[in-house]
Structures are given as structure tokens and as C-alpha cells.
Structure 1
Amino acid sequence: MKPIQLFVLKNCPHCRLALRYQQELLEEHPQWREIPLRVVDEAAEAAYADTFDYYYVPCYYVDGVKLHEGHAEKADVEAVFRAAAEETINV
């Protein structure tokens, strides 16, 4: 499993939505709870956040690679977790 980093801002409605989808997905897929996950508050850890190349939050990185930036739907968050779990999506 690859580690996930999620960059957020405390009062961002898009971040709250992504976190809600994330919680729903972790309930639906309990095995994903084993994935290392770090939620970084951009305001609280500004110096660290500045070392990453993104503009919009929420922003997901998997194993150091940016996979999603900006408003996220549940399918976007699911794709991040599938990538971290190294699962393929059947289309």
C-alpha cells in the first residue's frame, strides 16, 4: 500500500466534502484503513505544504505523486484510495 497525503484548509467546504467522502469510503472498504494517511492542514503546516506543487485544496498525493487537486466527488476520492491500495478500477 502506498501512503496518501491530503492537503486541506480548515474552513474549506470542498475539503470537508472530501473528508466526508473519505470517511464513507473507509466504512465501505475497511481494508483501506490500513493505508498510511496524513491529513495536512495547509495553514498549520505552511512551510511543509509549500514544498508541494499544488494550488487548490483538497489535494491528494499518493506516494508523492499528485493524483487529484480541487473539488472532489466521491469517485475522485475512491480513485485515490484504489491507487494507494494498488487496486484497479473495472470500467
Structure 2
Amino acid sequence: MKPVLMFTLNACPYCQRALSMVEELKENNPEYRKIQITIIDEGRQPEIADKYDYFYVPTYYVDGVKVHEGAATLDMIKKVLDTAME
């Protein structure tokens, strides 16, 4: 199982929706609960966010590799979590 970094902004409506979708996916698939997901708010933790190459949030890195950037659907987030499970 690979760790996931999720970059967000507190005021971003797409980020809030993405966080809700992650919780929904965990609820429906208990295996996803085993994935270590670290959420970085770029407004509160710019020293970490500045080390990564992205422009839009939410952005997901799996094991250090960017796998999704920008507004996401439930299917897109599921693909991120499935990638972490590989």
C-alpha cells in the first residue's frame, strides 16, 4: 500500500467536495481505510506545498507521483485510491 498526499485549500469548494468523496469511498470500501492519506492545506503549510509541482487543488500524489490535479469526480478519486492499493 502506497501513501497518498492530498493538497487542498480551506476555502476551495472542490477540495471540500473531494474530502467528502474520500470519506464516502472509505465508507463503502473498508480496504480504503488502510491507506495513509496525509492532507496538506497549502495555505497553512506552504513550506510543504512549495516542494511539489502543481497548480490546482485538490491534487493527489501517490508514493510521490502526481496522479490527479484539479476538480475531481468520485470515479477519479477512486482511481487515486486504487493506485495507492497497488
Decide: shared fold, TM above 0.5. Answer: yes
SS in structure 2 opposite 1:53?
A: coil
Q: Aligned residue pairs: how many?
A: 86
State how 1:1-91 maps to structure 2 within 5 Å.
Answer: 1-86=1-86
**Identity among equivalent pairs (%):** 45
Structure 1 unaligned runs (5+)? 87-91
Structure 2 unaligned runs (5+)? none
TM-score (norm 1): 0.93
Q: How far apart in 2 are the matches of 1:57 and 1:65?
A: 15
Q: Deviations over 1:16-59 (max 9, x none)?
A: 11111101000011111111110001011001100000000000
User: Any runs of at least 4 consecutive aligned residues in structure 1 with deviations exceeding 4 A, and if so which?
Assistant: none
The code of the aligned residue for 1:51 comes to: K
TM-score (norm 2): 0.98
